[in-house]
Amino acid sequence: MQTQNKYIYLVIVVCHIILYCTSITEQSVLRFEAPHPFEPQSAINLSPPPPVVFVTKTFTSQIDHFSFNPYLGSFRVRYLINDTYYQPGSPILFYTGNEGRIEAFANNTLIMWQMAPVINAALVFVEHRYYGNSMPFGDHSMDNASTLAYLTAEQALADFAYFLTNLKYLEPRLVAKRSPVIAIGGSYGGMLSAWMRQKYPHLVQGALASSAPVLQFINVTSCYAFSAAVSNAFTKASPNCSANIRKSWSAIDRTAASGQSGLLKLSKIFATCSPLTSKSDVNGLKAWIVSAYVTAAMVNYPYPASFLLPLPAWPVASICRPISSVASVSDKSNNDDISLLSAVSAGLNRYYYNYTGGVACLNLTVDPSSATLDDRGWGAQSCNEMVMPDSCANGITDMLQPTGDFDLEAYTASCLSQFGIRPRPNWVMTQFAGAVDPIACSNIFYANGDLDPWAPGGVKTSPNPSCPAELMKNAAHHLDLRAADARDPPDVARIRKLQWQAVQRWCKHFHQSVANANNDHAVWNRHLK
């Protein structure tokens, strides 16, 4: 749960542009017969992204799309739009907002901004209900289980569907009938984009689902897989680093076991703002460190970035530098423990929470990776349907402080006490596993990074050729969605090319099918108009 709460707080960019859609002619727009001419082109060097400029708007949506409870009304959902480059018939790139203020996703998804001028795309980012300013019950939205009841992926997807159906009224410039809509999202946003395509394929012609852990659920993906992936990222940076980290937990325990002097020693080594005074404080220190490793692994990007917090290029390798320099600790000697823990502390200080300097001490009450994000709703979501056990560790297949197995009973009790919500842990797979169905899946591109702790819970093998699943070498959490960068690992460019070809195919098929007026889809499409 700890890890889930610091889940993917930002989402970044889309896909490398290798080919581009030539703008459609006035004739084809008006006659609506010829398919939108997507002409393959050789590689294009993208210009730097234009400034992130958008208009902030809202639309009215049902608080509960799936009941007709007369006492539930409607609320305003925010969306951001840029139609500067749009031409009728060209694509609408639709970011399926996840757990945070929608601006965070617009500001961090720069490749959408790089792509828009090239393909004349409109950019739309719709905020997820219960985040940012899209609050069903205003300031009371988070009050209790009754007000939180409608905070589900199904309801958020229905908001998106309602929005897309009403685009003609909301945004007369966006001729939805003639424009393919491509859903784009990373992490939980990627899950939403995949699910949007599965549930509403008439509204969304394809989905780029990046680093979307759609299989990180009970009995589907082991709850130990996430920790193993965190550790693999560290082992890849330096085998000695993960080995030393694995030993560091007992070094902390041994040091703490010598009583107050040991606690004082630990406090000094880690430069904690408040001295550690209890076993519980020591556990807090360990949890903070685990969380730091997890975050570093998630945003282990090849250049300095400030997504969750300002970090150097390849933060995992950076953190590992001092840690891996401590050779063959014996597990026995007090001095060895101190040099190991000092190295851990140095790695985290220099390359994690104090990378830009100016942080005088380690404040264990602050999670530096979630300071800038407004993801308060995720706690409730992880307690209703998004039960994604991921924080089990055994110290064997991973380097982390060992935990017990996932305890659904304790988890449920905690959710009931915290929110009054009883989780339904199997519901998401019942509801959404169609998005990986080998026969029904269509037009979803699953991409994961092999350095990303969420990759084991993602789609690892393509359900079918229409739904490819690609693993990006040397990539962390949805690196493919970040702006194309010269320092990107080569495999990311390969994936972006495949993604872009997929988007091309989807747009082309859409135009072909809409051009064929002699089917019932065209009838529905007239309704959309």
Site for a copy of itself in 133-192 (CB under 8 A): 145-146, 148-152, 154-155, 158, 161-162, 165
Name the active-site residue from 128, 477, 478, 511. Answer: 477
Contact pick of 402, 437, 473, 487 for a copy of itself (by CB under 8 A): 437
- Strand segments (E) across 28-130: 38-39, 55-62, 74-82, 92-96, 122-126
Contact pick of 23, 339, 462, 501 for a copy of itself (by CB under 8 A): 462
Q: How far is the CB of 529 from a copy of itself (least distance, A)?
A: 9
Residue 339, amino acid: S
Contact set for a copy of itself, span 382-401 (CB under 8 A): 384-385
- Describe the chain by its helix, strand, coil percentages, rounded to 5: 45, 10, 45
Tokens representing 173 are 């410039």
Q: How far is the CB of 196 from a copy of itself (least distance, A)?
A: 11
Give the list of residues 6+ apart from residue 208 with CB closer than 8 angstroms, or none.
14, 15, 182, 183, 184, 185, 190, 193, 445, 447, 481, 499, 502, 503
**Whose Cβ is closer to a copy of itself: residue 195's or residue 293's?**
195
Contact set for a copy of itself, span 469-498 (CB under 8 A): 469
Q: How far is the CB of 373 from a copy of itself (least distance, A)?
A: 23
* Residue 33 interacts with a copy of itself (CB under 8 A): yes or no: no
User: How does strand 122-126 pair with strand 92-96?
Assistant: parallel
Give the list of residues 6+ apart from residue 304 with CB closer than 8 angstroms, or none.
310, 311, 312, 313
Contact set for a copy of itself, span 349-388 (CB under 8 A): 384-385
Q: Which stretch binds a copy of itself (CB under 8 A): 4-12, 200-208, 233-241, 475-483?
A: 200-208
Active site annotation includes 477:
yes
Decide: 298 and 454 in contact? Cβ < 8 Å: yes
Active site annotation includes 452:
yes
- 466: exposed, middle or buried (C-beta count within 10 Å: 0-12, 13-18, 19+)? middle
**Whose Cβ is closer to a copy of itself: residue 199's or residue 265's?**
199
Contact pick of 431, 450, 493, 501 for a copy of itself (by CB under 8 A): 431
Q: Which stretch binds a copy of itself (CB under 8 A): 312-320, 350-358, 386-394, 416-424?
A: 416-424
Contact set for a copy of itself, span 67-86 (CB under 8 A): 67-71
**Whose Cβ is closer to a copy of itself: residue 91's or residue 368's?**
91
Give the total residue count for the chain: 529
Q: Which residues pair with 112 in a beta bridge?
A: none
* Residue 201 interacts with a copy of itself (CB under 8 A): yes or no: yes
User: How does strand 122-126 pair with strand 74-82?
Assistant: antiparallel
Name the active-site residue from 61, 187, 267, 391. Answer: 187
Q: How far is the CB of 38 from a copy of itself (least distance, A)?
A: 15
Query: Total binding residues for a copy of itself by CB under 8 A?
Result: 74
Give the list of residues 6+ apart from residue 518 with CB closer than 8 angstroms, or none.
none
Residue 423, amino acid: P
User: How does strand 444-449 pair with strand 469-472?
Assistant: parallel
* Among 173, 154, 104, residue whose Cα is nearest residue 434: 154
* Residue 526 interacts with a copy of itself (CB under 8 A): yes or no: yes
Q: Please list the active-site residues.
A: 187, 452, 477
